Amino acid sequence: MKTARATAHSNIALCKYWGKRVDAPAELNLPATGSLSLTLDALWTETVVGPAGADRFELDGVTHVDDAARKVFAHLDRMWRAAGRDGARPHAHVRSTNHLPTAAGLASSASGFAALTMAAAAAFGAELDRTRLAALARMGSGSAARSIWGGFVRLDRGNRPDGEDCVARALLPADHWDVRLVVVQTTAGKKPIGSTAGMERSRTTSPYYDAWVDGAPQDLDRAEAALAARDLPTLGAIVEHSCFKMHACMLASSPPFTYWNGTTVEVMRAVWASRAAGLDGFVTIDAGPHVKVLCTAQTAATWVQQLGVLPGVVAVQTCAPGPDAAAEVIA
């Protein structure tokens, strides 16, 4: 085994993944809905995987001995098998650094598992194409499959029980469209429920879950067409519809849950009010309290100004389309 370093950028789902298929082995982590994303230049993870006397996972300088570490080591086992290597996996030291503004609940599992997948493949000498790397990243965390590519990415749900048709693919490169994602951080509390458990509660108790899953293919196809045409109002309407159908599904679960706080709602309303006054920008929110606004490069600074002064907003950051994940052997 060698020492390899990888970088992977986070992504935002413009059409969301929420829910897992139950007609296939859980280990494959197959999504119930396809998703479409934008890879982000300013949010990324750097991971180094190298040989060690014992398994060790260090994140931002802190060694973890928790579930997060167990998931990382299980992913290394998966990557070792995928590399076709015989025998027991050698012990490894995994060192990750999150270049995300703060530990404020901005998705790090997408860039984290994508970087781990790339670094482990390089360290283990695995010769795998990006499609296969994305499938492996997905088994660590669904959204990570999309972070293998830069630009605009689609992850198809597929139907096969072996998951072979659940494929992530680059739709269009980062320079296709100079859009921005303005990330508005609201005060972070502890997540009420992790995304995997939240998806499961939605699936098993929300009366809106089936409607959510059924509507996803149409959202995806329309979003893909609007993206190709660089049609922001059409894409934005689909982005908001996908987001709020997902959050309605959570709210209608039993017991109900939401990732929003009061500021989340105020930011959302401020975006809608400014849009009614003529400024183009569209809201999306993930399994956390932060609000992200999809807009053009020309309007991003105005959004930052307007939203940054709202009570409860702790930081605002602007992201542009980001690059592919990459890896290199360093020793």
- Whether the ω angle into residue 233 lies within 30 degrees of 0, i.e. cis, is no
Should residue 224 be labelled a site residue for ligand DP6 when binding is judged by CB under 6 A?
Answer: no
Per CB under 6 A, the list member of 45, 108, 117, 195 interacting with ligand DP6 is 195
The C-alpha atoms of residue 56 and residue 92 are separated, in whole angstroms, by 6
CA dihedral 31, 34, 36, 42 (to 10 degrees): 0
The C-alpha atoms of residue 316 and residue 308 are separated, in whole angstroms, by 6
Considering the complex, state which of residue 89 and residue 146 has its C-beta at the smaller distance from ligand DP6.
146
Segment interacting with ligand DP6, rule: CB under 6 A, options 9-17, 59-67, 69-77, 166-174: 9-17
The SS3 call for residue 262 is helix
Should residue 219 be labelled a site residue for ligand DP6 when binding is judged by CB under 6 A?
Answer: no
Per CB under 6 A, the list member of 1, 4, 13, 136 interacting with ligand DP6 is 13
The C-alpha atoms of residue 272 and residue 282 are separated, in whole angstroms, by 8
Should residue 141 be labelled a site residue for ligand DP6 when binding is judged by CB under 6 A?
Answer: yes
Q: What six digits make up the tokens of 293? A: 């606004």
Should residue 29 be labelled a site residue for ligand DP6 when binding is judged by CB under 6 A?
Answer: yes
The C-alpha atoms of residue 20 and residue 39 are separated, in whole angstroms, by 22
* HSE-CB for 69 with a 13 A CA cutoff: 15
Segment interacting with ligand DP6, rule: CB under 6 A, options 10-18, 45-53, 273-281, 314-322: 10-18
> Residue 35 in contact with residue 160, Cβ under 8 Å?
no
Considering the complex, state which of residue 18 and residue 303 has its C-beta at the smaller distance from ligand DP6.
18
Per CB under 6 A, the list member of 97, 187, 196, 205 interacting with ligand DP6 is 196
Interface with ligand DP6 in residues 85-124 (CB under 6 A)? 107, 109
Q: What six digits make up the tokens of 193? A: 């429920």
Site for ligand DP6 (CB under 6 A): how many residues? 15
CA-to-CA dists, residue 181 to 281, 295, 316, angstroms: 9, 6, 10
Should residue 186 be labelled a site residue for ligand DP6 when binding is judged by CB under 6 A?
Answer: no
Residue with tokens 């950051």: 317
Site string for ligand DP6, 250-289 (x = CB under 6 A): ------------------------------------xx--
Considering the complex, state which of residue 47 and residue 143 has its C-beta at the smaller distance from ligand DP6.
143
Binding site residues, ligand DP6, CB under 6 A:
13, 16-18, 29, 35, 107, 109, 141-143, 195-196, 286-287
